[in-house]
Amino acid sequence: MTAVRQSRGSTPFVFVTVLLDTLGIGIIIPVGPRLVASFLDNDLGAASRWFGVLVAIYSVMQFAFAPVLGGLSDRFGRRSVILGSLLGASISHLLSGFAPALSWLIVGRVVAGITAASFSAANAYVADVTPPEKRASSFGLVGAALGLGFILGPAVGGLLGGYGLRVPYFAAAGLNFVNLLYGLFVLPESLRREDRRPFSLRRVSPVGSLRNLARHPIVLGLTGTMTCGYMSQWILQSVWALSNQERFGWSLRDVGLSLMVVGVSTALVQGLLIRAILPRLGERRALLVGLGLGVAGYLGFGVARHGWVMYAMLLPNALSGLAGPATQALITREVGPSEQGELQGSLNSLAGLTAIVAPLLGTDLLARFGPEAARPHVPGAPFLAAAGFNLLGLVLALRLFRRGSEPAIR
């Protein structure tokens, strides 16, 4: 059984940690391209390419190091890994803030991508301190932190960027350091010493960690569903602004407003609504309902002819957020406390991999089928592809549940 040891402030601390990690990602969106351009004689074309490289570096580092930090948390405990990641995040923001050359920004993104793997330890911490029947709600709270971070990050970055391109980086560094000091006093260790296990480089390599998922058939099946969900989400994020500007003539203000609605609705569903729905549906039905609503939402985005339809489809898209926490909760039941860090590391590594592949796919579909001269002309092709991935995830989940051999699934 897991060691449910928690102080009153431990779960809120994990919430704030995930929020600040996400904030650090979003805060550079308004100022990052301009800071990159400042090192390239304000050449916007070169700046765009290099900013894309920086985004890719972040995802690659997360893919490579999420299993490592998850494995380290199984060996040394969650607390030390989370606090160490907060220190690393502060350093990464300071490197970018003080950067005298583009190379410093690259190093900053490398460090940021490595420390973003703290999501592995944070999710393992939630699994440690939460009874199995309440984990979906707790994972929903983590999802709400992600949603809020993506709302607040660009907003804070844009506001502080008015005082200087480097100010948002210093602010993010300060917030992470304050959170580190706070955690030193309020965050207890959640993993008992008798539940810890030796660290193995073979197990925590990206390939090895993904191979380890196959040791648990139910985990492997649900991981396929999660991967499809990750692909859908990253496709949407990669093309949302470009597609809606082209199809409906949206301004930057319209795009920003729509993303704010996405973030708020996601936070409400995963932070509040899931607590009321899960006791009635159970994790299994919540997963299936969420995936079904996701298919409907992405299809709506894909066939929309008017901008208001995109807003209307945000409701089923937000409710599809029921699937993620339910899947996480079901998966964590299948491994013991000594493997939770490795499990979460593998899942976050998958998220990092899809963050590399899905944007490339989404933008390629938009470039191929979006222009008026394209034949066939399918401006919503990326969203239809996202619907297809979500449908595949639903089929995989139904197939797994129909086998009837998963005692932990309700």
From the CB of residue 215, how many other CB atoms can be counted at a distance below 10 Å?
A: 11
Tokens 């995936």 locate to 291
Intrachain domains 1-189 and 211-404 with the same fold:
yes
Specify the pLDDT at position 117: 57
Tokens linked to 90: 């502060």
Within 13 Å, how many C-alpha atoms sit on residue 64's CB side? Answer: 11
Pick among 1.20.1250.20, 3.40.50.300, 1.20.1630.10, 1.10.3720.10: CATH of 1-189: 1.20.1250.20
Q: What pLDDT, on a 0 to 100 scale, did the predictor assign at position 408? A: 46
CA-closest candidate to residue 140, choices 319, 351, 1, 340: 319
CA–CA separation, 200 vs 71, rounded Å? Answer: 8
CA 386 to chain centre: 16
Q: Around Cβ 241, how many Cβ atoms within 10 Å? A: 16
Cα–Cα distance measured from residue 160 to residue 152, given in angstroms and rounded to the nearest whole number: 12
Q: Output b/e per residue, 134-171; b: 16+ Cβ within 10 A.
A: ebbbbbbbbbbbbbbbbbbbbbbbeebbeeebbbbbbb
Residue 45's contacts (CB-CB under 8 Å, 6 or more residues apart) are none
Q: Which pLDDT value is given to residue 382?
A: 92
Q: Domain extents for the chain?
A: 1-189, 211-404
Among 1.10.4030.10, 2.70.70.10, 2.40.30.110, 1.20.1250.20, name the CATH number for the domain at 211-404.
Answer: 1.20.1250.20
- The pLDDT profile of the chain, 410 residues, written as one tens digit per residue, is 344 444 455 667 777 778 877 777 777 777 877 888 889 887 766 776 787 788 778 888 888 888 888 778 888 888 888 888 889 989 999 999 999 999 999 999 999 888 875 677 777 788 787 787 777 777 787 778 877 887 778 778 878 888 888 998 998 888 888 888 888 887 888 777 877 877 777 666 766 666 766 676 777 788 889 899 989 988 888 788 778 888 888 886 787 788 778 878 888 888 778 888 888 888 889 899 999 999 999 999 999 999 899 999 988 988 888 888 888 888 888 777 767 777 777 777 777 788 888 888 888 888 888 888 888 989 899 999 999 999 999 999 998 888 754 444 43
